[in-house]
Chain A
Amino acid sequence: MEKIKVAIVPGAACGGCDVALANLGEKLLEATELIDIVFWPTVADFKIEDLEAVQSIDVGIFLGSIRLEDHVKKAKLLREKAKYVVAFGTCAIYGGLFGLGNLATREEILKKVYLDTPSTDNPEEKLPAQKVKIDGVDITPPALTEWNMPLNKVINVDLYVQGCPPIKDSINHFYEILASYASERKPIEKGLTIPGVKTLCDICPREKPEKIVIKSFKRVHEGKIDENLCFLAQGIICLGPITVAGCGAACISVNMPCRGCFGPPPDILDRAGKFISTIASLVKIDKEKELSDEELIRIVQEIADPVGTFHRFTFSSGIIDKKQEDV
């Protein structure tokens, strides 16, 4: 039996997804019977030329979002060579934390990071994408793309594996798909999203009152949190209603509200929009007719930083995915 060729390409990523893949454990040994890894720079010294040299790839796995021109080049190269491209992890699918970088322009980011911060020592005002000489060698660090993007804004994606990083069950499921493709050449279903469609609230073990009423907003460090009661009922923002259940309620079970790192279930167009609709409805739902319109508006606007809270991991895949200059 011929092994399938797999390339694992990182973009703007933290390395957590690489670790999650390595977390397959003893399955990795079994995997070497079926899979030939032709490119994985995190574990061995691969350069882009190695990817260019491969004739064809069966499955290309992309980790991380797009923030450098280099990532665009690699993603396009991967699409050209691979029969299937997999967006693996939150950053590849939704842009991840890096997406919040879209609240500033590329020029603002470069200026802040390379010139303005007090700890910066850069007398020649060198920026990335300019040629520099280090130890007699000319180096051109890669240029930032104008904006951060999830993978599917650059190339077509066939399969999505959600998670930050994807948990073992999702990776096992993904591995089963790879294995049956390798052994029986069973085609991979395009557009499939692992783990699926349930929200975190569906599997949350906490007690949910019949009617959730938010009296005022509280942040996690402000006061004691009841370990058995729904966070929203305590006025603490929890992204459970708009987050896919794939994590096994890891944060919830240690008394921390959900920040939404696994991304939304598939029918949500814009996470912030959906969550604004959800959370605003719950505010003072029992007393709304006794308060004036202005008072209600004031209480709702107590929520600090709606973009960074609701779109923490998904801003660059939202309906409006970058900072505008209209104000």
Chain B
Amino acid sequence: MKSNGFEPRIIAFLCRWCAYAGADLAGVSRLEYPPNIVPILMPCSGRVDAQYVLLAFKNGADGVLIGGCHTPNDCHYISGNYKALKRYALLRKYLKDIGINPRRLRIEWISATEGQKFARVIEEFTNELKKLGPLKLR
């Protein structure tokens, strides 16, 4: 099996108000989750440019997670999470067209109180990427 011993590398762009705070809560609550993510603090999920996602894949990421506030009304900047959602939708189509499995890109709404959900998402995503195997670019 190609996932044997393979530890995926996940770049997680987390919004500072919800998803990052959720990750903090998972930490202070001492929840266990796989150590495969590299969290990057973003001011808002709407600040995640699609170029950053492509750069992450180019530079060795096996998966990219965008974490933002719940729709419709949690976003600190009113609608940044919708920007992230719509970019994610188009980016998935783009990734499919250039031959990268779109399941390597994931978006999740995680609030500051959802440490449990954060741990679960990382666990799920890590397992899914283990099944997909490493992203090998030509």
Point out residues on A near B: beta carbons under 8 Å: 103, 268-270, 272-274, 276-277, 279-281, 283, 285, 288-289, 293, 296-297, 300-301, 303, 305-307, 310, 318-320, 322-327
Contact = CB atoms under 8 A, between A and B. Distances in A.
B13 to A, nearest CB: 13
B90 A296 contact: no
22 contacts: A268-B51, A269-B51, A269-B55, A272-B50, A274-B49, A277-B50, A280-B83, A280-B87, A280-B90, A289-B82, A296-B82, A297-B88, A301-B90, A301-B93, A303-B90, A318-B54, A322-B138, A323-B99, A323-B138, A325-B99, A325-B138, A326-B100
Contact of A326 (B49, B50, B91, B101): B101
B85 A289 contact: no
Dominant secondary structure at the B interface: helix
B87 A281 contact: yes
A277 B137 contact: no
A305 B92 CA distance: 12
Closest 8 A/B residue pairs (Cβ): A273-B51, A324-B99, A280-B86, A297-B89, A276-B50, A273-B50, A300-B89, A319-B54
Given A269-B51, A273-B50, A281 B83 contact: yes
Contact of A296 (B50, B89, B92): B89
Nearest to B54: A319
B43 to A, nearest CB: 15
B135 A306 contact: no
Contacts, number: 118
B76 interface: no
A297 B71 CA distance: 13
Contacts of B77: none
A326 B136 contact: yes
Contacts of B88: 297
B58 A320 contact: yes
A320 B50 CA distance: 12
B5 interface: no
B53 interface: yes
Given A269-B55, A270-B54, A273-B54, A296 B97 contact: no
Contacts of A318: 54
A327 B72 contact: no
Contacts of A306: 90, 93-94, 97
Contacts of A285: 79
B125 interface: no
Contact of B98 (A300, A303, A307): A307
Contacts of B86: 280-281, 283, 288, 296-297, 300
Contact of A276 (B91, B136, B138): B91
A171 B93 CA distance: 39
A285 B79 CA distance: 9
Contacts of A320: 54, 57-58, 98, 100, 137
Contacts of A279: 90
A327 B46 CA distance: 27
A276 B136 CA distance: 23
A301 B96 CA distance: 12
A318 B90 CA distance: 17
Contacts of B46: 281
B50 A300 contact: no
A289 B89 contact: no
B79 to A, nearest CB: 6
A124 B138 CA distance: 31
A276 B94 contact: yes
